[in-house]
Chains A and B, each alone.
Chain A
Amino acid sequence: MKSIIFLALRYLAYYRWKTGVLVAAISVILFLPLSLEYVLDHGTERLRARAQATPLVLGAPGSAIELMLSTLYFESGNLAPLKYALIDEIHETMLGQAIPLQVKYRVGDFPVVGTSPDYFDFRDLKITNGRRLALAGEAVLGALSAKELGISPGDSVITTPDTVFDVTGTYPLKLKVVGLLQPTGTQDDYAVFVDVKTSWIIGGTGHGHEDLARPEASGSVLKRNGKDLVANASVAAFREVTPDNMADFHFHGGVADFPLSAIIVVPRDVKAGVLLEGRYQNPNSSVRVVLPSVVIDNLLNTVLIVRQYVLAAITFVGVATLATVALVFSLSIQLRRSEITTMMRIGAAPMRIGVILGTEILLVLAASVFVAGIAMVVVNAWGDALFGWILMAGNL
């Protein structure tokens, strides 16, 4: 037996390129469906876990999937805004806790998530370095956004303006980083968290500037009518909230009308959840209520159908590849006719020659299984990092 394996190995080693191509082709055919299953199972599990941990989401009427992507994965999209008054309205019902989310702006490639302290309790986000948010103009970074940006508490980050040439767009605001969050393995790791009021300041709803009633600001005053002033565009807004200028920051209009991209609602109990769902399910309502778990399940059902097609395609390609491999082996035997004749002439039994050829095929298959197995171990071991990379790529 030892001599049979020796002869098979020598043959495979001599034709190393042919062997390598065969092993690679069979490995890929084995690895693809297995890795696809793993990635989809793992991804599905993650999507479901985040969705199931988010009981109810309120948003403006529109795409439920876009609302989910904004609320769970901080994709800004083109969601119509909700009014902040809805937060007080929900609290007045005493049916649950309303957590505001304003996801519209970015620091580089990372989403700026404007919210309230309740979000941190709700997602169980813990500070690992620095402190919690306390005042407008401050930011707390997720573990990976901090790592990518190379930021520590005490540093600053600057929000990305809408467009460079749009003078009516948002101006960059310098945010003081006061804390970093522990890694969670979720999209929260890639966020820049701020007070929802800070996101309104970034958007221009709130701002700070010199006191227009002072004589030195007269150049910026367009019209003066008793105690009412109209300022022109030359008023320079502060681009950073500091202890010195904080008192000069203010909002124009009523807070109740200020924008939110979504509201996460945590019902008091199951009955309260049903009542809240019913309250906003009126088709004429200006608010849309969605259950993230249902939306994600619907999305995953579509993904599962696609998976069936992909698996069918992989199976088809696999069968074709294996047929090609069989053809390669059969042609190889044809080409080795003189070699086989020589072996028979020097006394090799036909049975023994068949075993040598079969061993060669088995060794190629074994090597392919081994390579595919190694690849699966790598995927398994680096699965979280891989998903992080996929999420990151999604952000970019």
Chain B
Amino acid sequence: MDIDGWELVTKNLVIFIAFALAACEPAGEVVTSEDTAAGNMAAPVVYTVNYPLAWMADRIAGEVVEVVLPVPPTEDPDQWQPLPQHVLAYQDADLVILNGAGYAKWTTLAFLSPAKLVDTTANATDWLVPAGDVRHRHGPKGEQNNTDTASHTWLSPDLAAEQARVIAEALMQLVPGSAKGMKERADTLVGELKKHARTLGEVFENLRDRQFIFSHPVYQYIDARYSLDGQTVVWEPHEEPNEDQWQAMADLVEPDRSPIMMWEALPLRSVSDRLREMGISVVVFETGANPHPRKGYDVILDDNLANVRALGSMAASPNSAKAVD
């Protein structure tokens, strides 16, 4: 055997010994967030029931946790009826973050481990407001059904901040090794949401004398937090209201208060034109319950703020207000 052959054999032997030693390395290493982040082991999986919760969990957890929202983009997460395979996926998650307040009613009939459920509004009962739905009881002494709570809690940024705190606590318990980083990110997020709440308050303060009409019963927390004293109708952005609805709107409107109609999405052009003719300003205030194809929830928050702020700048001449798009 020549010299090169020996070198080759020696090199292979060294590589073999290195592999053998690596294989003999004792088990029981401390799992760190870096391991998880680097993909050295499967990251814990956290399932959520709407996009704002998923966004908050993702902001707080960073790369440490895989955050999943399995609701199809075309479905309203609140009304979604999951198939058994969806529920089984929730079952296998390490944590399931719920909105609480009666949101995503399917979770009350799903077979999920109570140890994995995190109700982000369970301790915020003082903040919750009634939805104004019809309630019933069976017989005069029967128990009331417990469905009359407004569920779009995150629309109040203060309440969203509380929900973020609860999410942060749950995630820190799930991955204690990454608690420090999560705490810092959670504090930043809570700070941003609180600041957003204050700014939104200032903007709504400028609209104090305006009449608010909500196109859907989802704005109860905005209404309550900023004392808008609004009225709610049920108009779909992609549908043309019938004449009864227009008549009801005409009866509802107080023209001297420069009414504002808040929509989850931009209504049909014909609808917004007719509303303008009635002296009603249209503002889009997205709930963000579904993931947006082009923007994150932080952008949705900013857009909502900008849309409401734009109304304030038009307050001087309400009749010239136009749909915000």
Q: Which residues of A contact B (CB under 8 A)?
A: 87-88, 91, 94, 97-98, 100, 116-118, 131-138, 178, 195, 197, 212-213, 222-223, 227-233, 235, 241, 243, 246-247, 249-255
Interface hub of A97, A116, A131, A137 (most chain B Cβ within 10 A): A116
Closest to B79 in A: A247
B139: A residues at CB distance < 8 A: 222, 230-233
Tell me the complex Cα distance, A228–B109, Å.
Answer: 24
Question: A230-B139, A250-B145 are contacts. A134–B114 as well, Cβ < 8 Å?
Answer: no
Report yes or no: B173 in contact with A134, Cβ–Cβ below 8 A: no
Question: A94-B173, A231-B138 are contacts. A195–B88 as well, Cβ < 8 Å?
Answer: no
Report yes or no: A118 in contact with B115, Cβ–Cβ below 8 A: yes
Report yes or no: B113 in contact with A118, Cβ–Cβ below 8 A: yes
Question: A131-B88, A134-B87, A222-B140 are contacts. A117–B111 as well, Cβ < 8 Å?
Answer: yes
Report yes or no: A235 in contact with B114, Cβ–Cβ below 8 A: no
Tally of contact residues, B, Cβ under 8 A: 33
B143: A residues at CB distance < 8 A: 252-253
Tell me the complex Cα distance, A131–B88, Å.
Answer: 9
Q: Answer whether residue B84 sits at the interface, using C-beta atoms and an 8 A cutoff.
A: yes
Interface residues of B: mostly helix, strand, loop or mixed? mixed
**Stretch from B38-46, B128-136, B239-247 at the A interface:** B128-136
Tell me the complex Cα distance, A216–B238, Å.
Answer: 29
Q: When the two chains form the complex, which single residue of A88, A135, A246, A247 contacts B114, counting CB atoms closer than 8 Å? A: A88
Tell me the complex Cα distance, A255–B148, Å.
Answer: 15
Tell me the complex Cα distance, A227–B134, Å.
Answer: 5
Report yes or no: B111 in contact with A133, Cβ–Cβ below 8 A: yes
Q: Answer whether residue B320 sits at the interface, using C-beta atoms and an 8 A cutoff.
A: no
A247: B residues at CB distance < 8 A: 81, 105
A142 CB → nearest B CB, Å: 17
Closest to B137 in A: A230
Tell me the complex Cα distance, A229–B136, Å.
Answer: 4
Tell me the complex Cα distance, A328–B133, Å.
Answer: 91
Closest to B144 in A: A252
Interface hub of B88, B112, B137, B138 (most chain A Cβ within 10 A): B138
Q: Answer whether residue B142 sits at the interface, using C-beta atoms and an 8 A cutoff.
A: yes
Interface hub of B133, B135, B136, B146 (most chain A Cβ within 10 A): B136
- Which B residues between 111 and 164 are near A, CB-CB below 8 angstroms? 111-115, 132-140, 142-148
Report yes or no: B105 in contact with A132, Cβ–Cβ below 8 A: no
Report yes or no: A131 in contact with B84, Cβ–Cβ below 8 A: yes
B135: A residues at CB distance < 8 A: 227-229
Tell me the complex Cα distance, A253–B143, Å.
Answer: 5
Task: Write the B216-256 contact mask toward A (1 if CB under 8 angstroms, else 0).
Answer: 00000000000000000000000000000000000000000
Tell me the complex Cα distance, A137–B106, Å.
Answer: 13
Report yes or no: A135 in contact with B111, Cβ–Cβ below 8 A: yes
Q: Answer whether residue B91 sits at the interface, using C-beta atoms and an 8 A cutoff.
A: yes
Q: Answer whether residue B108 sits at the interface, using C-beta atoms and an 8 A cutoff.
A: yes
B77 CB → nearest A CB, Å: 14
